[in-house]
Structure 1
Amino acid sequence: MPQITVSTILRGLRLSQGHSKRFDGPMILRSPAHEGRMNPTQWLLAYATVVRAAGGDTSVMANYLPIMLTPPAMSWFTNLAPDSIGSWEELKKVFTDNYMAMCTRPGTKHDLSRINQKPSELLCSYIQHFSEMRNSIPNIMEAKVITAFIRGLHHRELRSKFNRKPPTGIGEMITIANQYTDAEEAEVRFNEDAGTQQPPHRYDDRPDD
């Protein structure tokens, strides 16, 4: 079986010798590689912008694309049929069709509502998990973020404080929560120095989800 190479797949898309004198190949190689889970449309847009800035054209975009794939993603490319790609537009389409189903989808407000602080989970851990999910959700209202954060809390004192006086914004909410994490971590260190393993006494008895 003949070896499948970039040149056998990219029919009619050979790199010309007439690049602009300012063509900067290393600039392209410094851009983020595609590892298979990024949104392909967004990645291609950023990739094409870098190639244009480096002085390249659509031929360069097509021929450099395999170099910009991590090994797992490259396996998809090498499985394409010989002479199957005749233009940058064709390559973009097969690339997008293949990776759109595999890319990490943005979160939703429902995903955020499922983030709950586990019994005895330290507050700093809950804040981190909640924030990671929050950052994956586009265009979510601050009020919904605040409501979801408070509902997911097992920390009695902090939840009671927020229920008495809800924070006016996400920044204020996290600032107040971080003040409680400092006290909690100090208590954990004290227990460790005392040789005890008991968790901080600030959690309710709601069941684990």
Structure 2
Amino acid sequence: MKAKVLRDFKAPDMVPYDGTSDPSHRLSNFRSRMYLTDASDATRCKAFPTTLTKTAVKWFDNLPPISITSFYDLANKFLARLSIQKDKARHAPSLLGIKQGDWESLQNYMERFNKACLDIQNLPTEAAIMGLINGLREGPSNQSISKKHPTSINEVQERAEKYNNMEENSRIGKTSKTGFSYPSRDRDKEPRKKEDQPTEKPRKYHNYTPLRVSLVDV
């Protein structure tokens, strides 16, 4: 009967956990979904690995055989190991690894940086400001934002928003100059209208009516 239950059981529909985000959130989410299905302890132990990927599933695969006695035991070992990964990536110094790409827009960089800041608890304002400025690509945006040292994230975002608008206006301006209208010199090459075409040349005749007077008199 238990084998049939495990075979018919469908694992929770969850985004695979790769070990980079908070493991306690993933565990809490998994427990909530399993509680709704009224799954047994054994079923939880078998279903949990199916929601893991990358670093997290490698950790599970490296567990010694018959080393898990219950889901409580599995959960504790999961938190103990994956919390180390979380601590490495979720402190303020990790922001120094976020860099604006060579062709990345300032807006996209700001969105990535803000998302990373949300994952760090008790993030000092000064650390966030330094991390953001440090990751900016060398150029006008870097000089504009860091010209006068900002005192708050809001101030940095306001300066970035102004530069974003400048970038967008510049892009729109370049686009508007590349329409499909003919250049003036090309228009001169357009076929002339029918009425502008030269009239047909007069035909040449080989026989003419003889004159009754001399050419001198004419």
Aligning the two structures, in what range does the TM-score lie when normalised by the shorter sequence?
0.5 to 0.7
When residues 81 and 128 of structure 1 are mapped into structure 2, their CA distance, relative to the original with a 3 A threshold, is closer
Query: Is residue 56–residue 82 contact of structure 2 (8 Å, CA) maintained in 1?
Result: no
Higher relative contact order (CA 8 A, sep 6+): 1
Structure 2 gap segments, 5+ residues each: 179-218
- Of 79, 85, 96 in structure 1, the residue corresponding to residue 68 of structure 2 is 85
Equivalent residue pairs, number? 173
Alignment of 1:30-179 (within 5 A): 30-70=13-53, 74=57, 77=60, 83-96=66-79, 99-102=82-85, 105-112=88-95, 122-142=105-125, 144-146=127-129, 148-149=131-132, 155=141, 156-160=143-147, 163=149, 166=150, 170-171=153-154, 173-179=156-162
Give the fraction of aligned pairs with identical amino acids, expressed as a percent: 22
What letter matches 2:110 in structure 1? Answer: I
Q: Tell me whether 1:183 sits opposite 2:146 in the alignment.
A: no
Give the greater-gyration-radius structure (CA).
2
CA RMSD of aligned residues (A): 4.4
What letter matches 2:160 in structure 1? Answer: A
Structure 1 gap segments, 5+ residues each: 1-13, 19-24, 196-209
Deviations 1:23-48 (A, max 9, x none): xx65x522333334444443223211
What TM-score do the two structures reach when normalised by structure 2?
0.53
Query: Is residue 85–residue 91 contact of structure 1 (8 Å, CA) maintained in 2?
Result: yes
Q: State the alpha-carbon separation in 2 of the partners of residues 71 and 151 from structure 1.
A: 30
When residues 33 and 131 of structure 1 are mapped into structure 2, their CA distance, relative to the original with a 3 A threshold, is same
What letter matches 2:107 in structure 1? Answer: C
Q: State the alpha-carbon separation in 1 of the partners of residues 134 and 59 from structure 2.
A: 43
What TM-score do the two structures reach when normalised by structure 1?
0.55
When residues 106 and 53 of structure 1 are mapped into structure 2, their CA distance, relative to the original with a 3 A threshold, is farther
